[in-house]
Amino acid sequence: MTQLLLDVRDLTVSFHTSDGIVEAVRGVSFQVDRGKTLGIVGESGSGKSVATQTVAGLTRGARISGRAIFEGRDLLTLSAAELRAIRGPGIAMIFQNPLTSLHPFYKIGWQIVEMIRAHESGSAESARRRAIELLGHVGIPRPERRVDDYPHQFSGGMLQRAMIAMALALKPRLLIADEPTTALDVTVQAQIMRLMRRLQSEFGMAIILITHDLGVIAGVADDVVVMYAGQVMEQASRYGLFRQPSHPYTTGLLGSLPRINFPDERLTAITGQPPSLIHPPSGCPFHPRCPHVMDRCVTSVPAFMAVPGAEAHRSACWLLDPESIS
Amino acid sequence: MNESLLRVEHLVKHFPMKAQTFWGDRQYVHAVDDVSLDVRRGETLGLVGETGCGKSTLARCIVRLENPTSGRVIFDGHDITSASEDELRSYRQQMQMVFQDPYSSLNPRRRVGSIIGDPFGIHGVASGTERKRRVQELMDLVGLNPEHYNRFPGQFSGGQRQRIGIARAIALKPRLLVCDEPVSALDVSIRAQILNLLADLQKELGLTILFISHDLSVVRHVSDRIAVMYLGKVAEIASAEALFDHARHPYTRALLSAIPIADPDLDAAREQIVLSGDPPSPIEPPPACRFHPRCPRAETMCAVEEPALIARLSDREDHPAACHFPVKDGESVAAAGKPS
């Protein structure tokens, strides 16, 4: 049985900047089930990080509307103190660059201990024992010694392991991983992805995996959301998305990737540039770059329509509307 | 006629460390350690490896942005390892470089037209209106609007900036283009545009390309042959096809298995080799085979005797691998050697 853990509805996030209002997220909805992995894929500026950071209460000064129901409570209406109580045991996050997520002057073990003690009562010693145990659990060799290392003494892969240890310390129900392996080498990336899968099955947590890499998504996500210019373009199960991509942006992204088994085919690049989010295009945000653009794409935003013949597979494209064919 | 345009022979580059040890010994970063390879006329040689394997240092030694510690770089039959600055200038008309970061490799205070036109001025090839005409021709060739001649780099997106870098590199119609991670900083949809552009330019201008990347799927797409580097050494060289279908070195196999594939069915079907640990430090690289501490097939011998880069099993001469226990076709990497 699957159970809904996080339900995000119509989320909009905008920021005031000196250049104008940046509409970073424009009406995004997605759901995460308990114990499952949702992959959010998109390019720079697609809003994938802003959307999830807003859910975790990390976008200060932004104008936010919509709902984000986590275990029956709307995260967007909670006070700072209430959010603080949820972050850690409820929702934990890891980021792209582990070196900037850790304080360079404090020992790694101390930083994990501090996090544990901020949320739970208990002695410093027992928290330290937990930290050592956690570091060992994420594959740090000789954790009883490495616990007293400073961040610069760890390699990139080990730092990301330490970040994961810290995120898992309070056994969160949801882990938001924002490009967790982008800064790492491929062989280390494979280690970290394997570790995250193992820990997910042990702890039973749900994961939101944010990445620009369709290949990483294909390996781990149960469901996938494709974002572009602050909106969801397509949503499907992993197999649905890769076997039967529907939205022209998704097919464009897949066509842009060199395929291992077809080395000589020419890449079908998407022409043009991603749009500015200060003045997003009218209608479908992808219409200036879309090879199938029609008149109505310029004037009206496509509805989120079911893709025929596939369960829970939806795409925001007018091509799916029978009225467009005529 | 000599079929290789560029030959690298036993190239070594060691960087001295700032700090000395307690006994006053100076430590060195062994960035590139005895690398030999050749790039044939008109081909694209892909050079792959992870952070710190020495691939960028090798590239910089080839175009002499760094002076090698020892070894030789032979371009079109001429040894340029000890060429003077004047001699180098004429060679640099024939070999140019495209850098990874289109943000830091373009001067933000100079107009695009003058950045792309620089090579014409430096080499005294064209000036005045002739120079402007040729710059605009180049801009058109790489897919930039020639009317944007007077704009600054800041007014262009990442993909467009990489086009500017490429235009500057091909201005003098070089014979060899050294591309150091040219698409790593770009988004997927833009990356494909640049890869297609490089392929078109190669066809049009008859370029020979040394293409450096950490991304094996990109390298596979662009390369005729591929060299795999690990910690300053070449682990394996082969045609792109042979490397993907008949990789001999366990490190190559591990790299191949770690490529994220955007196809869940294909992804599930292949062998997963997850290496333990991180790449070791190039300051004190492991003895003998540098991969042995992480290798699932390593035996005592691997820590004692360095494997030569020669053809293994029944492979052709042009597919050498530096491994005592090469992986046979269809064999699992973990199978041979010690029981795991």
Q: Which tens digits make up the pLDDT trace of A162-173?
A: 999 999 999 999
pLDDT at residue A292, as a whole number: 94
pLDDT (0 to 100) of residue B339:
44
**Residues facing A22 on adjacent strands:** A15
Find residue A73's DSSP bridge partners: A70
Predicted pLDDT at B338 = 46
DSSP A257-269: SPPTT-TTSPP-P
Residue B335 has pLDDT above 80, yes or no: no
Per CB-CB distance under 8 Å, the chain A contacts of B263 are: 218, 242, 259
Q: Look at residue A325 in the predicted model and tell me its pLDDT.
A: 65
Which chain A residues touch B192 with a CB distance below 8 Å? Answer: 255-257, 267-270
CA–CA distance from A5 to each of A28, A47, A65 (Å)?
17, 21, 20
Question: With b meaning 16 or more CB within 10 Å and e meaning fewer, what string describes B41-61?
Answer: eebbbbbbbbebbbbbbbbbb
The total number of residues shown for chain B amounts to 340
Give the C-alpha distances (Å, rounded to integers) separating A238 from A23, A128, A275, B104, B264.
28, 39, 27, 37, 8
Residue A256 forms contact with B (CB below 8 Å): yes
Check A218 against B191: CB less than 8 A apart. Answer: no
Which residues in chain B have their CB less than 8 angstroms from residue A243's CB?
A: 265
**Beta strand pairing status for A91-94 and A73-74?**
unpaired
User: Among B157, B160, B188, whose Cβ lies nearest the Cβ of A257?
Assistant: B188
CA distance A118 to chain B (A): 32
Question: What is the rounded distance in angstroms from the CA atom of residue A276 to the CA atom of residue A45?
Answer: 9
| DSSP-H helix ranges across chain A | 48-55, 80-86, 98-101, 108-119, 124-137, 143-146, 156-168, 186-203, 214-220, 238-243, 248-256, 295-299, 322-325
**Among A146, A185, A237, A286, which would you mutate to test the B interface (most chain B Cβ atoms within 10 Å of its Cβ)?**
A185
Region of poorest pLDDT, from A8-17, A184-193, B198-207, B292-301: A184-193
The pLDDT, as a whole number, for residue A311 is 78
Cα distance between residue B54 and residue B229, in whole Å: 7
B17 Cβ neighbours under 8 A, 6+ residues apart: B26, B27, B28, B29, B283
d(CA B198, CA B192) in angstroms, rounded, equals 10
Q: Are B206 and B174 in contact (CB under 8 A)?
A: no
- Structure tokens given for A308: 């025929």
**Mean pLDDT of all residues in B132-157:** 92
CB B191 within 8 A of CB A256: yes
What is the mean pLDDT of the segment spanning B76-82? 91
Could you tell me which chain B residue has the CA closest to the CA of A254?
B262
A2 has a pLDDT exceeding 70: no
Strands (E) in chain B, as ranges, are: 4-20, 26-40, 44-48, 70-75, 78-79, 95-98, 176-180, 208-213, 225-230, 233-239, 310-311, 320-321
Cα–Cα distance between A270 and B160 in angstroms, integer?
A: 14
Q: How far is A197 from chain B (nearest CA, A)?
A: 13
pLDDT: is B17 or A11 the higher one? A11
DSSP label at residue A234: E
pLDDT at B337 over 80: no
Residue corresponding to tokens 């799927």:
B217
Is A186 in contact with B274 (Cβ distance < 8 A)? no
The mean pLDDT of B117-125, rounded to a whole number, is: 90
Which of A185, A212, A271 is the closest to B187 by Cβ? A212
What residues in B contact A155, CB-CB < 8 Å? Answer: 278
pTM passes above 0.80:
yes
pLDDT for res B19: 67
Winning range, highest mean pLDDT, from A5-9, A182-186, B28-32? A5-9
A42 interfacial to chain B (CB closer than 8 Å): no
pLDDT tens figures, A234-293: 999 999 999 999 999 999 999 999 888 787 788 988 988 888 889 999 999 999 999 999
Please check whether residue A133 touches B, CB under 8 A. no
Is residue A310 classed exposed, middle or buried when 0-12, 13-18 and 19+ CB atoms within 10 A define those classes? middle
- Cβ contacts (< 8 Å) between B190 and chain A: which residues? 269, 273
Smallest CA-to-CA distance from A71 within A90, A55, A89, A56 is with: A90
Listed by number, the residues of chain A in 282-321 with a beta carbon closer than 8 Å to a beta carbon of chain B are none
* Cβ proximity of B310 and B82 under 8 Å: no
Least confident of B56-65, B121-130, B241-250: B121-130
The pLDDT assigned to B227 comes to 97
A326 pLDDT more than 60 = no
Specify whether the CB–CB gap between A200 and A35 falls below 8 A. yes
CB nearest A187 (choices: B191, B193, B258): B258
The DSSP 8-state label assigned to residue B261 in this structure reads -
Question: How much is the mean pLDDT over chain A?
Answer: 91
Q: Are B108 and B149 within 8 A, CB to CB?
A: no
Q: Tens of pLDDT along B192-214?
A: 999 999 999 999 999 999 999 99
Residues of chain A above pLDDT 90, percent: 71
The 8-class DSSP code of residue B81 comes to T
**Residues A55-97: tens digit of each pLDDT:** 999 988 899 999 999 999 999 999 999 999 999 899 999 988 8
Whole-number pLDDT of residue A288:
94
Mean pLDDT of A99-107: 90
Give me the pLDDT at residue B229, please: 96
Set of chain A residues whose Cβ sits within 8 Å of the Cβ of B257 = 190
Q: Which residues pair with B213 in a beta bridge?
A: B48
Q: Compute the distance between CA of residue A271 and CA of residue A290 in angstroms, rounded to an integer.
A: 8
Secondary structure class of A273 (helix, strand, coil): coil
Residue B259: list chain A partners with CB under 8 A: 186, 215, 260
